[in-house]
């Protein structure tokens, strides 16, 4: 695969080299997925706003210890806290994660106001960044989940298959991940969905390689796509292939990572998907958990249990940096998180139909970066 850098140069990794404030960080050896909730009082919201607006300086401070480590932090904000924290209209599709209930498996909805996706080639730099970040946020936040991911061999998950092989590259990347002018409130940003899955490894290993490949839809050793099923039970690969109303395939960017501990016996995959269109990920989950046709769920779910589910929006770098410098939007003592629309996590709502038509293509920033609220020096 090949990609382009800010000057149009080709890279062997196939991913756009990250520039300041872009999300498409290089694949790294380590990552932290940190989900937080924000306190309801205006003081907590103001403290979080100050930290987010100055996060670029924190990245510079920590990354200076090793500039080659590719330290980045992508920040994304949930619907419950968006109005009070950002003080601007919400992106059109942003709402709390909607649970998806199939006849056998459920994708649960769990709380989450902030997501920090921290990546580096050194675990110690991820640790140091997270430590200082939480010190700065203090009592304004509560940790909901902290998952530490690691790169496993040649970008495989713990089920033994290559993960993220269908990611868009080159010109397709901004078209798949960056919201365009059709939604002014979200322009330049990206929807983010996270889920934490655990795997019963011994049960998976009891299957033959051929059975595993039929479930995934790819060969295990060399990652070759198998033919799609015309009818009946579909593979994980097929169920995750989404097309719009005109029949064109639409993609998302996955930065999944394995996590686990042999001592505890807990193994899993942390799913994180960036998309220009939230409905694309929602339709993937409907096809996986409900089935296509309904009743024939994704068989990978028999070996992958979803423990969490949260939806966020990663704002543009410009919006993130300007959170605390808008005098016209000064804090109002009554502007608490509880006053925000969709304040509660929508744990009982049925999934909305994922049938929104895709908007027109987005463009990369003039410097070649994706221009999202992800920070690096």
- Would you please indicate which residues are annotated as catalytic (active-site) residues? 163
Question: Which residue from 52, 60, 56 is spatially nearest to 85, judged by alpha carbons?
Answer: 52
Q: How far apart are CA 241 and CA 245, in angstroms?
A: 13
Q: Which residues contact 371 (CB under 8 A, 6 or more apart)?
A: 21, 22, 178, 188, 316, 317, 318, 364, 365
Q: Is 70 left (phi over 0), alpha (psi -120 to 50) or beta?
A: left
Bond into 293 cis (ω within 30): yes
Q: How far apart are CA 313 and CA 172, in angstroms?
A: 20
Q: Which residues contact 341 (CB under 8 A, 6 or more apart)?
A: 79, 83, 90
**Do β-strands 249-250 and 242-243 pair in parallel, antiparallel, or remain unpaired?**
antiparallel
Sign of CA pseudo-dihedral 362, 366, 367, 368: positive
Q: How far apart are CA 20 and CA 374, in angstroms?
A: 8
Q: How buried is 298 (Cβ within 10 angstroms: 0-12 exposed, 13-18 middle, 19+ buried)?
A: buried
Q: How far apart are CA 336 and CA 333, in angstroms?
A: 7
Residue entry with tokens 């909305």: 352
* E-state strands within 39-170: 72-77, 100-101, 106-107, 114-120, 141-150
């Amino acid at each position: 695969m090949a990609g382009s850098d800010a000057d149009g140069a080709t890279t062997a990794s196939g991913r756009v080299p990250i520039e300041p404030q872009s999300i498409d960080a290089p694949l790294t050896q380590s990552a932290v997925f940190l989900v937080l909730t924000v306190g309801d009082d205006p003081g907590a919201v103001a403290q979080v706003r100050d930290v987010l607006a100055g996060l670029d300086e924190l990245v510079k401070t920590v990354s200076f210890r090793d500039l080659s480590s590719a330290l980045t932090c992508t920040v994304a904000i949930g619907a419950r806290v968006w109005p009070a924290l950002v003080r601007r209209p919400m992106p059109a599709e942003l709402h709390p994660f909607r649970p998806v209930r199939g006849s056998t498996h459920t994708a649960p909805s769990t709380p989450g106001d902030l997501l920090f996706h921290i990546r580096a080639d050194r675990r110690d730099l991820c640790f140091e960044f997270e430590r200082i970040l939480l010190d700065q946020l203090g009592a304004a936040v509560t940790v909901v989940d902290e998952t530490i991911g690691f790169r496993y061999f040649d970008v495989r998950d713990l089920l033994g298959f290559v993960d993220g092989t269908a990611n868009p590259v080159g010109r397709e990347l901004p078209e798949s991940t960056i919201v365009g002018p059709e939604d002014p409130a979200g322009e330049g940003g990206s929807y983010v969905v996270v889920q934490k899955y655990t795997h019963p490894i011994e049960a998976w290993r009891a299957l033959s390689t051929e059975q595993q490949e039929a479930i995934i839809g790819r060969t295990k050793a060399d990652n070759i796509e198998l033919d799609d099923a015309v009818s009946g039970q579909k593979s994980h690969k097929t169920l995750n292939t989404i097309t719009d109303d005109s029949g064109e395939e639409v993609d998302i960017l996955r930065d999944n990572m394995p996590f686990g501990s042999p001592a505890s016996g807990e193994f899993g995959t942390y799913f994180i998907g960036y998309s220009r269109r939230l409905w694309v990920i929602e339709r993937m989950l409907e096809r996986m958990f409900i089935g296509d046709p309904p009743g024939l769920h994704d068989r990978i779910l028999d070996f992958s249990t979803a423990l969490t589910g949260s939806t966020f929006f990663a704002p543009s770098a410009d919006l993130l940096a300007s959170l605390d410098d808008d005098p016209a939007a000064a804090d109002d003592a009554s502007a608490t998180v509880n006053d925000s629309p969709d304040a509660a996590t929508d744990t009982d709502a049925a999934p909305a139909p994922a049938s929104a038509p895709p908007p027109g293509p987005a463009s990369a920033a003039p410097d070649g970066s994706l221009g999202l609220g992800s920070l690096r020096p």
